Amino acid sequence: MYAYLNYNHENAAGEGNDFTKKKFSFLPNMGAGAAPFNKEDNSRIGYLFFERQSAALTMNSRVEKLYDVIPTRSFNLNDQTVEYYKGDERYIGEINTDHQMTEYWAGISYGKKFSDNFGIGFTLFGSIRDQIKRYDLNIFAVDIENSLSATTDWNYMMDYLDFRILGKLGLVYKSESFNLGLTLTTPSIHLYGTGVIGGRVTSTGVYIGKIPNTNLSRPFDYVASKRESDVATNYISPLSIGIGLKKDIGSWRIRLAVEWFNKIPEHTLIQAEDPYFTITDPTDDSSRVVAEIPLLKIQQKGKSIINYGVALQKTFSEEFVAYLSFRTDFSNFEKSNENSFTVGETDDWDIYRFTTGGTYQFSRTIIGLGFQYSFSRDRNKISLSNLNPKQITENDLFLLNTTPTNSSIVFNEYKLILAFTYLFDSEL
């Protein structure tokens, strides 16, 4: 597959601050084969490997303007009153997100035909999921005249590799007028997973507090930073049940498919030994906790969903066959009560895919060429952050505008599909 992606997340970083991306990529997709296992008892073996999921999206947005972010601050310096941050400051806000994910499945299959009407098969899959997510938010307010600045950084990341196995059982009934299929995919069994998770929260010159045991006030800095390697992971895929129908009407063939995915109970995907950043008040001798942030704990949770598809096949000759299909690719992502598995983009997109193309056969070789258009629209999103400045007070810990903004996603993807099949055994 060769793919071109055009993506826009309107107001992703606050009103008027969009994420946009245009990207061209090559996507190796799938290979499979089958061979007789025992011709006498009508059994076969097969193999397949394919890219089950893929995402690669790096986004950024930046705001730079003159704005009175910090009101004028007066300090007593050597018995003299000094004023800082008078008037407008130079405000710079920038956010960068990076999401890279691939999930590969490989399977060995065994199938047996019990009669001219009924057959059964089972595939054992092994799966590898490789995922990286990063989120970087950096904000500066600079008093140009006095060369002072207040800053806030909010950065975290995870990078993990997870291995699991699962099985798929298939039943097929074949009659003269139609074929009916049923599949059951087991929940995954976790084998091994390891990753890195880290984060950093800093605040410099934003909060104003009194120096202990004095009547003097000054800006205070906060730093909370953690990073842990070799952290265990546990990614889960759910039970699913699918049903498919194939019916021939003259030179036309109709296929219908529906698959239900069970919900995934909330559980920890990856967590540091101590997932909380604890920020205390340095002006208080009792070390009063002013913020406790569970950045280093990522939860996974999934809702029950149904995906469906319909395909039409038209046979023009023994050599040439044309295809047209539509299918949904809905996400089962559900926001966790404690934390969000949404560091970046693409987790909760509901995608619709249209595909058309054809195959041409000569001798034992089949060549396929297709085109796929996919899109997603979501007008009810909440911004990932808000880079639009606001005037803070001396009691604020961070230089952040926490007012949420309504946002929307427009996603378009175009794929060119090339396929090659070689038939080793005419009896297949």
Tens-binned pLDDT, residue by residue, of the chain (428 aa): 778 888 888 888 888 888 888 888 776 678 888 887 777 778 899 999 998 888 888 888 999 999 999 999 887 767 777 888 898 999 999 999 888 888 999 999 999 999 989 999 999 999 999 999 998 999 999 999 888 899 999 888 899 999 999 999 999 999 988 999 999 999 999 999 999 998 888 889 898 877 777 777 788 888 888 889 999 999 999 999 999 999 999 999 999 999 999 999 988 888 888 777 666 666 665 555 566 667 788 888 899 999 999 999 999 998 999 999 999 999 888 877 655 444 445 677 899 999 999 999 998 899 999 999 999 998 888 888 889 999 998 888 889 888 888 888 888 999 998 888 888 765 54
Sketch out the chain's domains with CATH numbers.
2-422 (2.40.160)
d(Cα 63, Cα 386) in Å, to the nearest integer? 10
Burial class (CB in 10 A: 0-12, 13-18, 19+), 358: middle
The token pair that represents 419 in the structure block: 């396929």
Q: Are strands 2-10 and 406-422 parallel, antiparallel or unpaired?
A: antiparallel
Q: What are phi and psi of 350, to 5 degrees?
A: -100, 115
Pick from 415, 381, 420: nearest CA to 11: 381
- What DSSP element (H or E) covers 264? strand 264-271
Based on the number of CB atoms within 10 Å of its own CB, is 303 exposed (0-12), middle (13-18) or buried (19 or more)? middle
187 DSSP assignment: P
- What pTM does this model have? 0.84
Amino acid code (one letter) for 362: F
CA–CA separation, 44 and 36 (whole Å)? 4
**Rounded distance between C-alpha atoms, residue 219 and residue 73, angstroms:** 10
Q: Provide the 8-state DSSP code for 40.
A: G
Tell me the pLDDT tens digit for each residue of 161-171: 999 999 999 99
